A and B are shown apart, each in its own frame.
Chain A
Amino acid sequence: DVKVTQSSRYLVKRTGEKVFLECVQDMDHENMFWYRQDPGLGLRLIYFSYDVKMKEKGDIPEGYSVSREKKERFSLILESASTNQTSMYLCASSPLSNTQYFGPGTRLTVL
């Protein structure tokens, strides 16, 4: 079974803090994705990566950056957290096909 894990299920941070969200997959997948999910807006792609050290902006990259130093790990960084970044963050990975496999999500609250 494919396993995608995320470092925290729930996270509370203060405005201006630097926040790291970690995602690890154990299936040697090439592609990894970060989404945010908000009520009524569905899933919105923040960034994705198709190889180590490679990244592409998604639909809403502003305020976020990513890092992929190893194939199995894809990190999402909020350089200076703001209240409008309170959301559910979902990580996914996929092999060289289209099926994406999701982690359990991190619910981030920025106070």
Chain B
Amino acid sequence: AQSVTQLGSHVSVSEGALVLLRCNYSSSVPPYLFWYVQYPNQGLQLLLKYTTGATLVKGINGFEAEFKKSETSFHLTKPSAHMSDAAEYFCAVTTHGDSNYQLIWGAGTKLIIKP
């Protein structure tokens, strides 16, 4: 069965510092991987996704993530945090050929930006 683990329910960084949000997954077949962001009192918005091809994926708002098969990881990074990045971030996985197109979700990580 697939699963997603996000390390840290809360991550706090200073404005201008590196953002690193961790996501590990388990899947017996090649995965599709996603990062979504949720701003307060809003729905979720797709940040980036990995399907096939290049393992370093660039998304919106300066975020990127790298698929590392050997580590079963898909960590999200941003070189320099901005106050507007304060939000909750969700990692999700599904597999190629999953006809139901369901996503398996991590529990989320709240990113706090300190001035």
Residues of A within 8 A of B (CB): 4, 9, 31, 33, 40-43, 45, 48, 50, 56, 58, 90, 92, 94, 96-105, 107
Q: Whole-angstrom distance from the CB of A97 to the nearest CB of chain B?
A: 7
Partner of B49, one of A48, A99, A105: A99
- A101: chain B residues at CB < 8 Å are 46
Q: How many residues of B contact A (CB 8 A)?
A: 24
The 6 closest A-B pairs by CB, nearest first: A102-B43, A42-B107, A102-B44, A43-B105, A104-B43, A98-B94
CB 8 Å contact bits of B16-45 with A (1 = contact, 0 = none)? 000000000000000010101000011111
> A40 and B101 in contact (CB under 8 A), knowing A4-B43, A90-B43, A105-B42?
no
> A98 and B44 in contact (CB under 8 A), knowing A40-B9, A42-B106, A42-B108?
no
Please give me the residue from chain A that is nearest to B51 by CB atom. Answer: A98
- Cβ of B90 within 8 Å of any chain A Cβ, yes or no, is yes
A102 to B47, CA, bound (A): 12
A9 to B42, CA, bound (A): 9
Find residues 90-112 in chain B having any chain A CB closer than 8 Å to their own CB.
Answer: 90, 94, 98-103, 105-108
B100 near A48: Cβ-Cβ < 8 Å: yes
> A42 and B105 in contact (CB under 8 A), knowing A102-B43, A105-B42?
yes
Dominant SS among interface residues on chain A: strand
A33 to B101, CA, bound (A): 10
A96 to B107, CA, bound (A): 25
Partner of B44, one of A40, A48, A90, A97: A90
Find residues 38-66 in chain B having any chain A CB closer than 8 Å to their own CB.
Answer: 41-46, 49, 51
A109 to B94, CA, bound (A): 32
A42 to B98, CA, bound (A): 22
B101 near A98: Cβ-Cβ < 8 Å: yes
A4 to B44, CA, bound (A): 11
Q: Please name 8 further chain A to chain B contacts, defined as beta carbons within 8 Å, in addition to the given A98-B49, A105-B42, sorted by A numbering.
A: A33-B102, A42-B106, A45-B102, A56-B100, A90-B43, A98-B34, A99-B34, A107-B41
